[in-house]
C-alpha cells in the first residue's frame, strides 16, 4: 500500500504540547498557527502519563479535544505514540525495566527515555498504549500520520542489564547460526583468553579492566540498533493493523552527535522518512551540516522527499553555550532543508515551555509572544512554504555518490585504533565541503548500492568493508567510473579482522598501491606535499609508508620521516580510475583534488554561483526548482533561464535573479525553456 502524507503542499508546524498549558491557551495556539500558515503539528509525544493514568486505565478526553480543535481549524495531526516517556507508575510496577549503564548503575525514572529496550514489560506496555491510541483515533479526520515513539535511542541506545544480556545472546545465536565456534572465530577469542564455551558466558561489553574485544563491541552496536528497530517495527505493526492507510514515520537523528542507529536498516521499514536536525553552536559553517544531513536523509529515503520533523527557531538548551540564530538564518536553514529534499518543515516546539527541562529551548512562539523576531520569521516562513507548494514531490539527481556506512563508522571509532584523532564524520564532511561549495549534487550510498547512475564515487572513510561492498566499489571503477578512497579504508572485514598482505587491504589492488606501515600524525604535525598540488600544500592527521604498484604519484611528502613517499595516488583500474588519498590534505589541496576528479569524471555543478551562494536543484515533472541560498554578506546575481519565475516573490526573473545578502531565491525554470 502506498501510504503518503495527505497534507497539501509543504507541511509546516512543530511539536505541539498543549497539555503543558491551561486549555484557555489552546484557542490562541490555533489562531496563531493559522496566522503562521501551520498545517500540521505533532501531538502526544510525551503524553503517556496523562493518557494512561494507571495501568490499562485511559483518559483520552484531553486528546479528543486537542484533535477536534486542530481539525476544526484545518490543522492536521501527526499523532505520536507516547512511548519515549513511560510514566512513573510503570517503573514502580516494573523496576526491572529501568536501564543499567555501562558502569553497572541502574538509572532512575524522572526524565524521559529511561527504559531498557529489551524489557518485555516495557514492550508490552508500549504496544498496549499504541494499540489503544490507534484504535481510538484511526478514523479521526485530523490524524494524517503516526509518529512512532520519539528519536529512538536518543538517551537509551544501550542498556547493559541482565535482560539485555539475554537478548544480546539470542541476537548473536541468530547471527552466528547457533554456532558458538563461528562466534569465537569471528570475535578472535583466542586473544587474551576470551574463548566462550557456553552462550551464557557472553555479556554485554560492560566496564572492564582493559580494552574489550573489538568485534564484541561492534556486534553490540549492531544488536543495540536492531533491538530498538524491533520495538519500532512492533509499534508500527500495531498502528497499521488499526489504521492500514495512515503512513508511519519515526524521527531519525542524522546529525553530528548521534551515531547509535544504522538507519540504512531502519529507513525501509517506514512509510515516510523524517529527521531531526540541530545546529552545533561552535560550527562556523553549520549550513554545510544542514546540506550534508539533508542529502543523507534524502538518500536514506531512496531519493524520495522526506520531512524535517524537528529543528530549532533559535537556540537549543543542550550544548555548553547555546547560540541563537543570526538574521535570516532560520529562513535559510529551513529552505535549505527543502532544497535538499524535505517536503515538510517542523520545529521543536510550537510554544516555548514555561517549566520543565526544556524551558530555555527556543520555539515557534517564544516566551515573549508575538512581538518578537522569531515570531516574525515564523510567519514569513509560513508564507514562503505556501509559495513553494508546487515543489512538493520533486526530487534531486546526482552524479556523485559518497559512501556512508554506520558499521564502518562504529568500527573506526572503537578504542585502540592507530589514532583517536580520526573521526568518521570529520572525514566525510571534509570531502563533502568542496562539493557543496562548488554546487555539485551529492547522494549518499551504502557500499553495496547500485552505482550505475554515478560517474564519481567517493569513500572518504571506509575502515570496515565486507567483500561484497569492496567488490562493488572496485567493480564500479573497473567498469569505467572514478572511485576515490580515503586513508585507512578497506582495512578490516565485517568482523573487524585485518585484511592481510598490506594496506589498504580490500582496495590495494584496485588502487595500485601497497602500504607496509601506518604513520598517524600527531596534532600539529603537518608535513609538506609536492607534486600536482598547490605550492605550500600540507598533510595532516595521517600518513602511510606507501609504495606504488601500478599507480602514479599525484603528491608526495616533502618533509618528515616519509619524505619522498607518495601521499596521493591515481591508478587506471580496468576502464576507470581509482584514487587513493593516503593522508588528509589541507582543505585547499583537498578541494583541488576533488575538483580535478569530478572534472575528469565529467561531473558539472548544478549552477555556477558566486562563492558562498549555495545552489541546489530539485527536479519536478515539468520544471526544475533552483534554490539559491546566499550565505554571504554581499548581494549576488545568478543567471537563470529566460522564462524563469522566482517563487517566493512570484515575480518573473528573465535571465537572471538577484539574491540579496542572507536571502534565498527559489527559481522555477520550465523544462526545455531557454
Which residues contact ligand GLA (rule: CB under 6 A)?
150-151, 276, 278, 310, 316, 348, 358, 361
Q: How far is the CB of 192 from ligand GLA (least distance, A)?
A: 40
C-alpha to C-alpha distance for 608 and 286, rounded to whole angstroms: 21
Q: At closest approach, how far in Å is the CB of 150 from ligand GLA?
A: 5
| Annotation marks residue 55 as catalytic | no
Number of Cβ within a 10 Å radius of residue 319: 14
Interstrand relation of 623-630 and 664-670 (parallel, antiparallel or unpaired): antiparallel
* Smallest separation (angstroms) from ligand GLA to the CB of 156: 13
* Shortest distance (Å) from residue 444 CB to ligand GLA: 21
Query: Could you say which of 310, 329, 494, 646 is catalytic?
Result: 310
Backbone angles phi, psi at 402, to 5 degrees: -110, 125
Over the range 472-500, which residues count as b (16 or more CB within 10 Å of their CB) and which as e? bbbbbbbeebbbbbbbbbbbbbbbbbebe
Q: In angstroms, what is the minimal distance from the CB of 309 to ligand GLA?
A: 8
Judged by CB, which is closer to ligand GLA: 19, or 532? 19
Instruction: Report which of 387, 424, 422, 384 is spatially closest to residue 402, judged by C-alpha positions.
Output: 424
Backbone angles phi, psi at 70, to 5 degrees: -60, -45
- Other Cβ atoms within 10 Å of 190 Cβ, number: 10
As given in the structure block, the three cell numbers for residue 424 are: 568518521
Q: CB-wise, 91 or 348, nearer to ligand GLA?
A: 348
Return phi, psi of residue 158, to 5°.
Answer: -140, 135
Establish whether 532 is a catalytic residue. no
- In this structure, the dihedral spanned by the alpha carbons of residues 58, 363, 393 and 338, taken in order and rounded to 10 degrees, is -150
Q: Closer CB to ligand GLA, residue 276 or residue 405? A: 276
Catalytic residue among 151, 329, 399, 669: 151
- State in angstroms the smallest separation of the CB of 78 from ligand GLA: 13
Q: Which is nearer to ligand GLA, 112 or 514 (CB)?
A: 112
Distance of CA 646 to the CA centre of its chain: 30
- Distant-in-sequence contacts of 531-538, Cβ < 8 A, 24+ apart: 531/555, 531/556, 531/568, 533/568, 533/585, 533/589, 533/592, 533/593, 534/588, 534/589, 534/592, 537/585, 537/586, 537/588, 537/589, 538/585, 538/586, 538/589
Which is closer to ligand GLA, CB of 330 or CB of 484?
Answer: 330
Instruction: Give, for 180, the enclosing helix (H) or strand (E).
Output: helix 180-187
Question: Please, which residue, 57 or 355, has the CB nearer to ligand GLA?
Answer: 355
Q: Which residues are catalytic?
A: 151, 310
Amino acid at each position: 500500500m502506498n501510504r503518503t502524507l495527505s497534507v497539501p503542499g509543504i507541511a509546516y508546524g512543530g511539536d505541539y504540547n498543549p497539555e503543558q498549558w491551561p486549555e484557555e491557551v489552546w484557542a490562541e495556539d490555533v489562531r496563531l498557527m493559522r496566522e503562521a500558515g501551520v498545517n500540521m503539528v505533532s501531538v502526544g509525544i510525551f503524553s503517556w502519563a496523562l493518557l494512561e493514568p494507571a495501568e490499562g486505565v485511559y483518559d483520552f478526553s484531553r486528546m479528543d479535544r486537542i484533535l477536534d480543535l486542530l481539525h476544526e481549524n484545518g490543522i492536521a495531526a501527526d499523532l505520536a505514540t507516547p512511548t519515549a516517556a513511560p510514566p512513573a507508575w510503570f517503573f514502580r510496577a516494573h523496576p526491572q525495566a529501568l536501564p543499567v549503564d555501562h558502569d553497572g548503575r541502574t538509572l532512575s525514572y524522572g526524565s524521559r527515555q529511561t527504559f531498557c529496550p529489551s524489557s518485555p514489560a516495557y514492550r508490552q506496555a508500549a504496544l498496549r498504549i499504541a494499540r489503544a491510541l490507534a484504535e481510538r483515533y484511526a478514523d479521526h479526520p485530523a490524524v494524517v500520520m503516526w509518529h512512532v515513539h520519539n528519536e529512538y535511542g536518543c538517551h537509551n541506545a544501550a542498556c547493559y542489564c541482565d535482560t539485555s544480556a539475554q537478548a544480546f545472546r539470542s541476537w548473536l545465536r541468530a547471527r552466528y547460526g547457533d554456532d558458538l565456534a563461528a562466534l569465537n572465530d569471528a570475535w578472535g577469542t583466542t586473544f587474551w583468553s576470551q574463548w566462550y564455551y557456553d552462550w551464557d558466558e557472553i555479556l554485554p561489553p560492560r566496564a572492564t579492566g582493559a580494552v574489550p574485544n573489538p568485534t564484541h563491541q561492534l556486534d553490540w552496536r549492531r544488536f543495540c540498533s536492531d533491538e530498538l528497530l524491533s520495538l519500532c517495527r512492533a509499534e508500527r505493526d500495531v498502528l497499521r493493523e488499526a489504521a492500514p492507510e495512515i503512513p508511519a514515520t519515526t524521527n531519525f537523528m542524522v546529525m553530528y552527535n548521534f551515531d547509535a542507529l544504522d538507519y540504512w536498516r531502519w529507513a525501509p521499514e517506514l512509510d515516510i522518512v523524517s529527521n531531526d536536525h540541530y545546529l552545533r553552536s561552535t560550527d562556523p559553517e553549520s549550513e554545510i551540516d544542514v546540506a550534508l544531513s539533508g542529502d543523507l536523509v534524502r538518500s536514506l529515503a531512496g531519493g524520495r522527499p522526506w520531512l524535517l520533523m524537528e529543528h530549532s527557531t533559535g537556540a537549543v538548551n543542550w550544548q555548553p553555550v547555546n547560540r541563537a540564530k543570526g538574521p535570516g538564518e532560520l529562513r535559510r536553514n529551513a529552505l535549505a532543508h527543502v532544497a535538499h529534499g524535505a517536503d515538510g518543515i517542523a520545529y521543536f516546539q510550537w510554544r516555548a515551555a514555561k517549566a520543565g527541562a526544556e524551558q530555555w529551548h527556543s520555539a515557534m512562539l517564544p516566551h515573549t509572544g508575538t512581538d518578537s523576531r522569531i515570531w516574525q520569521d515564523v510567519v514569513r516562513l509560513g508564507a514562503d512554504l505556501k509559495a513553494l507548494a508546487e515543489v512538493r514531490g520533486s526530487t534531486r539527481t546526482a552524479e556523485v555518490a559518497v559512501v556512508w556506512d554506520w558499521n564502518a563508522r562504529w568500527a573506526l571509532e572503537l578504542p585502540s585504533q592507530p589514532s583517536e584523532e580520526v573521526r568518521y564524520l570529520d572525514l566525510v564532511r571534509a570531502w563533502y565541503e568542496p562539493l557543496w561549495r562548488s554546487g555539485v549534487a551529492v547522494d549518499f550510498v551504502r557500499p553495496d548500492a547500485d552505482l550505475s547512475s554515478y560517474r564519481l564515487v567517493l569513500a572518504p572513510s571506509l575502515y570496515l568493508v565486507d567483500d561484497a561492498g569492496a567488490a562493488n566499489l572496485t567493480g564500479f571503477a573497473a567498469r569505467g567510473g572514478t572511485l576515490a578512497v580515503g586513508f585507512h579504508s578497506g582495512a578490516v572485514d565485517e568482523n573487524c579482522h585485518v585484511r592481510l598482505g598490506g594496506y589498504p587491504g580490500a582496495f590495494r589492488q584496485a588502487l595500485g598501491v601497497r602500504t607496509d606501515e601506518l604513520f598517524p600524525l600527531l596534532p600539529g604535525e603537518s608535513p609538506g606535499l609536492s607534486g600536482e598540488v598547490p605550492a605550500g600544500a600540507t598533510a595532516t592527521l595521517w600518513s602511510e609508508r606507501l609504495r606504488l604498484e601500478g599507480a602514479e604519484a599525484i603528491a608526495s611528502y616533502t618533509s618528515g620521516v616519509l619524505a619522498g613517499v607518495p601521499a596521493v595516488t591515481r591508478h587506471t583500474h580496468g576502464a576507470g580510475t581509482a584514487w587513493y588519498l593516503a593522508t588528509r590534505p589541507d582543505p585547499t589541496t583537498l578541494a583541488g583534488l576533488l575538483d580535478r576528479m569530478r572534472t575528469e569524471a565529467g561531473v558539472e555543478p548544478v549552477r555556477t554561483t558566486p562563492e558562498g551562494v549555495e545552489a541546489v536543484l530539485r527536479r519536478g515533472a515539468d520544471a526544475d526548482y533552483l534554490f539559491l541560498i546566499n550565505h554571504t554578506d554581499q548581494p549576488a546575481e545568478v543567471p537563470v533561464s529566460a522564462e524563469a519565475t522566482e517563487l517566493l516573490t512570484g515575480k518573473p526573473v528573465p535571465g537572471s535573479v538577484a539574491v540579496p545578502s542572507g536571502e534565498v531565491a527559489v527559481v522555477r525554470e520550465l523544462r526545455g525553456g531557454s
